[in-house]
């Protein structure tokens, strides 16, 4: 499969929220990246509601109805709802299918009655265990694929996943600040797993005439980012986590090389780099996902988004209504402001305000600022000989950007980590085969259950 | 793109204002033991084997183990004071455990552990990084860890508790829809007359939820695990642990 060797945009400045080089249409009159931003609401069921299919389907019906009703109440033009599977929905394909069907019925109803544009993203849970089973031929994989089929057949418009390949290595490496292990886990193994998985997902999507959406390195790069945390945390250095993110971009890109069309998954913070390379629309989450987790780039990540998401909100009552309705309202107004800027010809001004709000707040915002994301994208497409070479190039570029900008302030400890990580990256072999040959014996010894055959090695 | 020169008033980098402590080497007179300590403090897994074997040429294995523990105590101090990050603590723990294994081989028996702790990640949940960190910290602090792994059915957890009779059980979960397994475990254990502290934590797991069922103690952070284990091993029951750590 061909790898990207050029950028979709001539410059970072071309990129702005709401518009993607290659917009995607699906669902009920729903277009992503065609000039306007839409909200993407992700409702999460209450604990206990997953006990039976009946109770879980009912929970989703209520949540979805609350979302659609609030959209109409406040005049929002359209919305995407993500059905992010709790494991019961993927382990039992008919559960996932039935919830997608119920969501579709409600969306069709609101479309017919009010003309509310809408779409369903079904994100299937990847519950394969890389260190315990054969990832390429396991019951979990069969169930995952069956659930993609069931969801697509029942009414999901967009199929997505947060794939786990390489996580067994990356978990080991992140908590040891081992950049070689992260490159191996995310850059090499993760990329190979995405390639394997997305061939199958795209086939299923095409068979059912639905859109293959996207993947995210949530299980690895987000782990690093969330462990890095805020200014008070001491789990993972922020500079190290930012470099993990750059590596993740090279991995997540593989889904689009296999035929995914986007929009990307909301928790893929690497998405601005993906958009710069592939030109597909992206979904992002920031300040309005504080209901699910905190980050240090709440405004900046909206700068080039096409869908604006809340990550996940558990269903409960608030003074302003249920959480699903309340977060729909917050997202809807965020999006209304962005679209007003588009209509007033001020989109780039608002984009630049978002960027300036966070670019130097932390390393993640810094490397995902569209100007820097674009440079990392260029490093990826200019080093496309192998999954490894481009992941390493992305990591080196991210480190160089952080080292080279005096406005990015770092503690002495962070500077030390950045320097040692950069040095380690430069010392690694140039060729993928040499790198893999070096890594396999090391990680087979150190990571219990690691099986190279899971990745075709 | 337009960029500001002055970001004051937009955000404050509080992390830059924090005081940093210093990594002090614990000084002992014996050079070989000093090297063992230093290897642990540095998290030097490449050289720990060599320095431990060298020390064992002239020292009793227990003496070397004491040096390993001394090094790890220094690491705990550095972590508590915010000088070290988690990766340093984990690497030091790796080094110490490798060193202990070599000493145990020489002794021909395993060193006495402080107590048995069972850890697991909830049924349906394969996100076990938090559990792995708990495992590493418990082992580094001298506990025998029975690691049941991830996505562990309720039946298996209950069976393991009966088999190993641990001082404490831990459960990790990322999602609220997987953490409900903790309550089922608690009910099963209680029904069978088994009482032990059951520390639950991770992701969206809340104190309110965990303290709503018997045995449950909410673990805010992995770093609390060894301290809670010490309480459990000392004979404190789940109610006493909950009173101390929660609320």
pLDDT of A236-248, one tens digit each? 999 999 999 999 9
CATH 3.60.110.10 holds for B116-246: no
Average pLDDT, integer, range B108-120: 95
Whether B21 has its CB under 8 Å from any CB of chain A: the answer is no
Position B43 pLDDT exceeds 90: yes
pLDDT score for A74: 98
CA dihedral defined by B151, B154, B157, B162, rounded to 10 degrees? -170
Which of A50, A127, A227 is closest, CB to CB, to B177? Answer: A50
Q: Average of pLDDT values for A256-276?
A: 98
Q: How far is A113 from chain B (nearest CA, A)?
A: 34
- How many beta-carbon contacts under 8 Å exist across A and B? 114
Domain range for A290 is 12-455
- Computed over every residue of chain A, the mean pLDDT equals 97
Contact A86 B87 (CB under 8 A): no
pLDDT at residue A273, rounded to an integer: 98
β-pair type (A317-318, A313-314): unpaired
- Please say if the pLDDT value at position B26 is more than 80: no
Closest partner CB to B1 (pick from A13, A51, A227): A13
From the centroid of its chain, how far is CA B115? 13
Q: Quick check: helix, strand or coil at residue B5?
A: coil
Domain with CATH 1.10.1240.10 in chain B: 14-107
CATH of the domain at A72: 3.20.20.70
- To the nearest whole percent, how much of chain A has pLDDT over 90? 99
Yes or no: domain B14-107 corresponds to CATH 1.10.1240.10: yes
A175-221 pLDDT, tens digit each: 999 999 999 999 999 999 999 999 999 999 999 999 999 999 999 99
Encode pLDDT of A369-426 as tens digits.
999 999 999 999 999 999 999 999 999 999 999 999 999 999 998 999 999 999 999 9
| CB B171 within 8 Å of CB B182 | yes
User: Chain B residues with CB inside 8 Å of A368's CB?
Assistant: none
A120 lies in a domain?
yes
pLDDT confidence tier of residue B232, bands split at 50, 70 and 90 = very high
Instruction: Name A118's bridge partners.
Output: A28, A79
Partners of B91 on chain A (C-beta within 8 Å) are 176-177
DSSP SS3 for B17: helix
Q: How many CA atoms lie within 13 A of B31 on its CB side?
A: 1
Tell me which chain B residue has its CA closest to the CA of residue A56: B177
Section A41-65 average pLDDT: 97
With respect to residue A52, please indicate whether it lies within any of the assigned structural domains.
yes
| CB pair distance less than 8 Å for B7 and A171 | no
Q: Which residues contact B57 (CB under 8 A, 6 or more apart)?
A: B32
Which tokens hold the place of A373? Answer: 């994301």
- CB of A98 closer than 8 Å to CB of A132: no
At B15 the pLDDT is 86
Question: Is B42 in CB contact (< 8 Å) with chain A?
Answer: no
Is residue A1 domain-resident?
no
Number of domains in chain A: 1
pLDDT at B81: 84
Asked if pLDDT for residue B19 goes beyond 60, the answer is: no
For tokens 């249920």, the residue is A322
A456: left (phi over 0), alpha (psi -120 to 50) or beta: left
- In whole angstroms, give the CA distance from residue B201 to residue B179: 9
The residue of A10, A46, A168, A175 whose CB has the most chain B CBs within 10 angstroms, and thus the best one to mutate to test that interface, is A175
What is the distance between the alpha carbons of residues B192 and A9, in angstroms, rounded to a whole number? 65
Q: Is B23 on the interface with A (CB under 8 A)?
A: no
Residue B218 pairs in a beta bridge with B200
Which B positions 183-222 lie with beta carbon below 8 A of chain A? 204, 209
CA distance A451 to chain B (A): 17
Mean pLDDT score, A345-373: 98
Interval A19-46 mean pLDDT: 98
Which residues of A are less than 8 Å from B151 in CB distance? 127, 129
Hey, what's the torsion of the CAs at A108, A113, A118, A119, to 10 degrees?
A: 0
At B21, is the pLDDT very low, low, confident or very high (cuts 50, 70, 90)? Answer: low
Mean pLDDT for chain B overall: 94
pLDDT of residue B213: 97
């Amino acid at each position: 499969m061909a790898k990207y060797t050029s950028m979709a945009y001539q410059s970072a400045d071309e990129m702005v929220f709401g518009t993607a080089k290659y917009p995607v249409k699906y669902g009920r009159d729903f277009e992503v990246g065609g000039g306007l931003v839409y909200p993407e609401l992700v409702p999460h069921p209450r604990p206990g509601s997953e006990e039976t299919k009946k109770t879980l389907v009912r929970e989703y019906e209520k949540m979805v109805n609350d979302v659609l009703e609030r959209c109409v109440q406040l005049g929002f033009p359209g919305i995407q709802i993500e059905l992010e599977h709790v494991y019961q929905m993927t382990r039992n394909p008919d559960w996932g299918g039935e919830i997608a069907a119920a969501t579709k019925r409600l969306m069709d109803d609101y479309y017919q009655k009010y003309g509310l544009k809408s779409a369903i993203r079904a994100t299937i849970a990847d519950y394969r265990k890389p260190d315990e089973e054969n990832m390429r031929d396991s019951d979990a994989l069969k169930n995952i694929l069956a659930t993609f089929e069931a969801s697509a057949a029942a009414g999901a418009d967009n199929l997505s996943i947060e794939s786990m390949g390489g996580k067994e290595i990356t978990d080991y490496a992140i908590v040891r600040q081992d950049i070689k292990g992260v490159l191996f886990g995310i850059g090499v193994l993760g990329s190979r797993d995405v390639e394997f998985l997305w061939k199958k997902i795209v086939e299923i999507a095409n068979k059912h005439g639905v859109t293959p959406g996207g993947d995210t390195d949530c299980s690895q790069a987000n782990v690093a980012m969330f462990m890095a945390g805020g200014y008070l945390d001491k789990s993972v250095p922020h500079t190290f986590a930012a470099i993990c993110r750059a590596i993740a971009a090279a991995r997540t890109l593989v889904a689009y090389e296999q035929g995914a069309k986007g929009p990307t998954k909301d928790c893929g913070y690497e998405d601005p780099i993906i958009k710069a390379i592939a030109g597909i629309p992206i979904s992002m989450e920031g300040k309005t996902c504080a209901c699910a987790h905190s980050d240090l780039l709440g405004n900046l990540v909206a700068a080039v988004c096409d869908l604006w998401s809340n990550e996940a909100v558990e269903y409960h009552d608030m003074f302003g209504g249920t959480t699903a309705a309340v977060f729909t309202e917050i997202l809807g107004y965020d999006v209304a402001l962005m679209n007003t800027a588009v209509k007033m010809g001020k989109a780039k001004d608002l984009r630049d305000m978002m960027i300036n709000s966070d670019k130097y707040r932390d390393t993640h915002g810094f490397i995902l600022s569209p100007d820097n994301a674009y440079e990392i994208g260029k490093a990826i497409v200019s080093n496309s000989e192998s999954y490894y070479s481009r992941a390493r190039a992305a990591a080196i570029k991210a480190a160089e950007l952080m080292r080279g900008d005096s406005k990015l302030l770092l503690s002495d400890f962070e500077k030390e980590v950045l320097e040692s990580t950069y040095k380690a990256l430069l010392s690694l072999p140039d060729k993928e085969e040499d790198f893999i040959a070096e890594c396999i014996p090391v990680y087979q010894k150190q990571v219990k259950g690691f099986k190279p055959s899971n990745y075709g090695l | 793109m337009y960029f500001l020169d002055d970001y004051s008033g937009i955000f404050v980098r509080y992390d830059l204002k924090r005081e940093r402590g210093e990594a002090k080497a614990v000084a002992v007179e014996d050079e070989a033991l000093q090297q063992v300590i230093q290897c642990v403090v540095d998290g030097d897994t490449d050289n720990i084997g060599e320095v431990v074997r060298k020390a064992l040429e002239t020292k009793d294995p227990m003496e070397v183990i004491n040096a390993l523990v001394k090094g790890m105590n220094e690491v705990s101090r550095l972590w508590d004071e915010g000088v070290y990050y988690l990766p340093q603590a984990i690497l030091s723990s790796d080094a110490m455990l490798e060193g202990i294994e070599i000493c145990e081989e020489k002794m021909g028996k395993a060193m006495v552990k402080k107590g048995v702790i069972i850890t697991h990640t909830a049924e349906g949940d394969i996100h076990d990084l938090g559990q792995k960190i708990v495992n590493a910290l418990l082992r580094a602090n001298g506990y025998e860890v029975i690691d049941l792994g991830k996505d562990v059915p309720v039946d298996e957890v209950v069976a393991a508790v009966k088999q190993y009779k641990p001082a404490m059980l831990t459960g990790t979960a990322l999602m609220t829809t997987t953490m409900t397994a903790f309550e089922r475990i608690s009910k099963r254990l209680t029904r069978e007359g088994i009482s032990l502290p059951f520390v639950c934590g991770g992701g969206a797991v809340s104190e309110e939820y965990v303290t709503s069922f018997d045995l449950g103690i909410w673990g805010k952070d992995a770093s609390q695990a060894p301290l809670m284990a010490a309480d459990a091993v000392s004979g404190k029951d789940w109610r006493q642990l909950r009173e101390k750590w929660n609320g």
